[in-house]
């Protein structure tokens, strides 16, 4: 590698460091859970975990682990093939049919991750004659997927239904053949739920399709965990749902698109991350299947999650923290300054509370925050301990 290039990389890394924006990964020395072991000085220490997407606490559920182990024995470790060559096992079709049935759609298609599902869903369905109208706070993978398609792009301010209508009109004025509105179901950094009834009404009026990325909802929000279409009453007015097995549904990995059969059939022919990437590992596929069964029946876990959400939000509000409003288990504590978010995360870590400070470019500049996430794997006592720590650290740092 040329010296110039190496020097350039080192410079960039130093700039990131100097801006206080360098991300360091902490090492976990065990499974994911409500309490986790952090590797520390050759040993480990236990912390309360407020930053996993493990909403129902299924990431290390014994029945899911057992299903994955059984699949290892019956179906082996890996597929060493893409789906259409020799990478489709009975398990893969079972998972596609199961997630489609769970979400009330005709069919579904698996991807290695939802990042790939979003990366691959737009390009085969829409051409340069068409329009994609996208919420400004959509996940990075939707932004990338939209970029990879040839459709004309229109963006509306987060959750602003007048702005959405303006963009639909603009797409019509530009002569769009088909229009597709793309939105996150839950905006992951804010915890807000998309206004799907209003979006679907506008879609109906302007003849647009609706795509919802429900990564932060599938499994824990709405009736039986069927996500934001169920939660908001928009139901089957949502045409296409993308989602992940890497969060509530076991938390391993894998993404999907669920929709009508022609949509899924065409994606199977044309979606590039599907055609040119390896098939999901059998253990992950079987574990995810079991996770859907457990999530669908887990009203008790959803109730625990809702109780923690209410208790933690109320405690932080009473203490005087600046929270974004909302009802999902994502509770962002707004701090503004990136360096302060890092300082606060470090101080909480010292008190045994595991959180992550988020700052630009993950969230807009000047809107740094600690994003906390509730989990059914936490106990009531964990929530109280976490609240005490937040109040102590908030006082120390002059936030309260």
Ligand X SMILES: *Cc1c(COP(=O)(O)O)cnc(C)c1O
Which residue ranges make up the annotated binding site for pyridoxal 5'-phosphate? 114-115, 188, 244-247, 277-278
Backbone phi and psi for residue 214, each to the nearest 5 degrees, phi listed first:
-105, 35
Whichever of 258 and 393 has its CB closer to ligand X, that residue is 258
Give yes or no for residue 246 binding ligand X (CB under 6 A): yes
CA 245/CA 91 separation, integer angstroms? 15
Structure tokens at 195: 């206004």
Considering only the stretches 90-98, 211-219, 291-299, 309-317, report the one whose residues sit in contact with ligand X under the rule CB under 6 A. Answer: 211-219
Give yes or no for residue 113 binding ligand X (CB under 6 A): yes
Report the residue from 55, 75, 102, 115 that binds ligand X according to the rule CB under 6 A.
115
Structure tokens at 17: 């460091």
Backbone phi and psi for residue 323, each to the nearest 5 degrees, phi listed first:
-110, 155
Structure tokens at 265: 């059939």
Give yes or no for residue 216 binding ligand X (CB under 6 A): yes
Per the annotation, the verdict on 290 as an active-site residue is: no
Whichever of 234 and 399 has its CB closer to ligand X, that residue is 234
Give yes or no for residue 215 binding ligand X (CB under 6 A): yes
Task: Kindly determine how many residues on this chain lie close enough to bind ligand X according to the rule CB under 6 A.
Answer: 14
Q: Output the smallest distance, CB 304 to ligand X, in A.
A: 22
Give yes or no for residue 184 binding ligand X (CB under 6 A): yes
Catalytic residue among 61, 220, 247, 290: 247
CA 134/CA 326 separation, integer angstroms? 22
Whichever of 317 and 360 has its CB closer to ligand X, that residue is 360
Which string of x and - marks every residue 348-367 that binds ligand X (by CB under 6 A)?
Answer: --------------------
β pairing state of 43-49 and 240-244: unpaired
Per the annotation, the verdict on 141 as an active-site residue is: no
Per the annotation, the verdict on 216 as an active-site residue is: yes
Whichever of 36 and 280 has its CB closer to ligand X, that residue is 280
CA 64/CA 287 separation, integer angstroms? 5
Site for ligand X in 254-313 (CB under 6 A): 255
70-76, Cβ contacts within 8 angstroms, sequence gap of 24 or more: 70/286, 71/282, 71/283, 71/285, 71/286, 71/287, 72/282, 72/283, 74/282, 75/282, 75/283, 75/286, 76/282
Sign, Cα dihedral of 132, 135, 141, 144: positive
Report the residue from 49, 54, 89, 141 that binds ligand X according to the rule CB under 6 A.
141
Catalytic residue among 92, 152, 179, 216: 216
CA 308/CA 200 separation, integer angstroms? 31
Considering only the stretches 67-75, 109-117, 147-155, 382-390, report the one whose residues sit in contact with ligand X under the rule CB under 6 A. Answer: 109-117
Give yes or no for residue 212 binding ligand X (CB under 6 A): no
Catalytic residue among 141, 188, 288, 341: 188
Distances in Å between the alpha carbon of 363 and those of 298, 309, 345?
A: 32, 22, 16
CA 33/CA 56 separation, integer angstroms? 10
Binding stretches for ligand X (CB under 6 A):
113-115, 118, 139, 141, 184, 188, 213, 215-216, 244, 246, 255
Residues designated as active site: 188, 216, 247
């Amino acid at each position: 590698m040329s010296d110039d290039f190496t020097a350039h990389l080192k410079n960039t890394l130093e700039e990131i460091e100097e801006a206080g924006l360098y991300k360091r990964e902490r090492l976990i020395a065990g499974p994911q859970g409500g309490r986790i072991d952090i590797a520390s000085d050759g040993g480990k220490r236990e912390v309360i975990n407020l930053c996993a997407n493990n909403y129902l606490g299924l990431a290390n559920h014994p029945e899911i682990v057992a299903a994955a182990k059984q699949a290892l024995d019956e179906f082996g470790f890996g597929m060493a093939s893409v789906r259409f060559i020799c990478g489709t096992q009975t398990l893969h079709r079972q998972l596609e049919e199961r997630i489609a049935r769970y979400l009330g759609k005709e069919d579904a298609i698996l991807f290695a991750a939802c990042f790939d599902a979003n990366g691959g869903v737009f390009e085969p369905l829409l051409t340069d004659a068409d329009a994609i109208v996208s919420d400004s706070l959509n996940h990075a993978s939707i932004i990338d997927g939209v970029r990879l398609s040839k459709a004309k792009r229109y963006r509306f301010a987060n959750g602003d239904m007048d702005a959405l209508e303006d963009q639909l009109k603009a797409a019509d004025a530009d002569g769009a053949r088909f229009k597709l509105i793309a939105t996150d179901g839950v905006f992951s950094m804010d915890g807000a739920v998309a206004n799907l009834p209003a979006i679907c009404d506008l879609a109906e009026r302007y003849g647009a399709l609706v795509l919802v990325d429900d990564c932060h909802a599938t499994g824990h929000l709405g009736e039986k965990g069927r996500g934001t279409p169920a939660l908001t009453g928009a139901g089957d007015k949502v045409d296409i749902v993308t989602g992940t097995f890497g969060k509530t549904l076991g938390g391993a990995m894998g993404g999907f698109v669920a929709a009508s059969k022609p949509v899924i059939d065409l994606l199977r022919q044309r979606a590039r991350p599907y055609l040119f990437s390896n098939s999901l590992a059998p253990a992950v596929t079987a574990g995810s299947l079991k996770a859907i069964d457990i999530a669908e029946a887990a009203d008790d876990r959803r109730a625990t999650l809702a109780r923690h959400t209410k208790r933690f939000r109320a405690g932080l509000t009473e203490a005087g923290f600046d929270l974004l409003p909302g009802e999902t288990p994502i509770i962002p504590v707004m701090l503004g300054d990136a360096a302060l978010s890092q300082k606060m995360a470090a101080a909480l870590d010292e008190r045994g509370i595991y959180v992550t400070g988020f700052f630009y470019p993950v969230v807009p500049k000047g809107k740094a925050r600690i994003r906390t996430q509730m989990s059914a794997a936490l106990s009531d006592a964990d929530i109280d301990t976490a609240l005490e720590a937040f109040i102590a650290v908030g006082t120390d740092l002059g936030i309260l």
